[in-house]
Amino acid sequence: MTMQFMLLFSRQGKLRLQKWYVPLSDKEKKKITRELVQTVLARKPKMCSFLEWRDLKIVYKRYASLYFCCAIEDQDNELITLEIIHRYVELLDKYFGSVCELDIIFNFEKAYFILDEFLLGGEAQETSKKNVLKAIEQADLLQEDAKEAETPRSVLEEIGLT
């Protein structure tokens, strides 16, 4: 199971999250993204979730307005990849509480942190929902502590003007 990359994009083709597990140049990444977004969006709803693309296999699934799209290698298992996507969606859902596209836009850094706990280097690191969320919550607790220790910020900053 080696995932090459994972892309999240909207029905309008806006990229919401990108995770690359193989070293590629920025130019190449943009090219791949453009090509795949176009290919996947052109597919009809009842079509199969897998397609051959270059020498990779693409596994994708749509959740509400968001497409989750992964590239895996020739030997890899498509169905289990589909469930990787689903588990990630479950994790986001549990963490944000009924996750929607906006949560991922405004808290993109959290989406990355959760993904890193779940998949590392393109491989499943921890598949237990409970354990992944526990790790994220511990980190959040550390943030809470840190916040309390911080000095109060300026009023200007509180309302987001800097």
Partner 1 sequence: MPAVSKGDGMRGLAVFISDIRNCKSKEAEIKRINKELANIRSKFKGDKALDGYSKKKYVCKLLFIFLLGHDIDFGHMEAVNLLSSNKYTEKQIGYLFISVLVNSNSELIRLINNAIKNDLSSRNPTFMCLALHCIANVGSREMAEAFASEIPRILVAGDTMDSVKQSAALCLLRLYKTSPDLVLMGEWTSRVVHLLNDQHMGVVTAAISLITCLSQKNPDEFKTCVSLAVSRLSRIVSSASTDLQDYTYYFVPAPWLSCKLLRLLQCYPPPEDGAVKGRLVECLETILNKAQEPPKSKKVQHSNAKNAILFEAISLIIHYDSEPNLLVRACNQLGQFLQHRETNLRYLALESMCTLASSEFSHEAVKTHIETVINALKTERDVSVRQRAADLLYAMCDRSNAKQIVAEMLSYLETADYSIREEMVLKVAILAEKYAVDYSWYVDTILNLIRIAGDYVSEEVWYRVIQIVINRDDVQGYAAKTVFEALQAPACHENMVKVGGYILGEFGNLIAGDPRSSPLVQFNLLHSKFHLCSVPTRALLLSAYIKFINLFPETKPTIQEVLRCDSQIRNSDVELQQRAVEYLKLSSIASTDVLATVLEEMPPFPERESSILAKLKKKKGPGAVSVTELEDNKREGGELNGSSDRGPDIAAMAASNASTPSPSADLLGIRSAAPVGAAPTSAGSLLVDVFSEAGPAAPSLAVNDDGFLRDLEQPTEASDALLVEGSGDSDSAPPSEDPAAPLSEADELLNKFVCKNNGVLFENQLLQIGIKSEYRQNLGRMYLFYGNKTSVQFASFSTTVTCPGELQSQLNVQTKPVEPIVEGGAQIQQVLNIECLTDFSDAPLLNIKFRYGGALQNLTLKLPVTINKFFQPTEMLSHDFFQRWKQLSQPQQEAQKIFKANHSMDTEVLKAKLLGLGMALLDNVDPNPENYVCAGVIQTKGQQVGCLLRLEPNAQAQMYRLTLRCSKDSVSRRLCELLAQQF
64 binds partner 1 (CB under 8 A): no
Instruction: Provide the token pair at 92.
Output: 């986001």
Question: In Å, how far from its chain's centre is CA 101?
Answer: 11
In sequence order, what are the beta bridge partners of 69? 7, 60
Closest to partner 1 by CB, 28 vs 123, is: 123
Q: Which of 139, 142, 62 is nearest to 95 (CA)?
A: 139
Instruction: Provide the token pair at 62.
Output: 């749509």
Give min distance, CB of 69 to partner 1, in A: 15
For residue 41, give the amino acid letter.
L
Burial class (CB in 10 A: 0-12, 13-18, 19+), 69: buried
79 binds partner 1 (CB under 8 A): yes
Contact positions with partner 1 (CB under 8 A) in 132-161: 135, 137-140, 142-144, 146-147, 150, 153, 157-161
24 binds partner 1 (CB under 8 A): no
Give min distance, CB of 10 to partner 1, in A: 12
Q: Out of 4, 15, 28, 155, point to the residue binding partner 1 (CB under 8 A).
A: 15
83 binds partner 1 (CB under 8 A): yes
131 binds partner 1 (CB under 8 A): yes
Q: Out of 25, 42, 109, 155, point to the residue binding partner 1 (CB under 8 A).
A: 109
Task: Return d(Cα 1, Cα 78) in angstroms, integer.
Answer: 9
Q: Which of 34, 78, 27, 31 is nearest to 52 (CA)?
A: 78
Closest to partner 1 by CB, 11 vs 129, is: 129
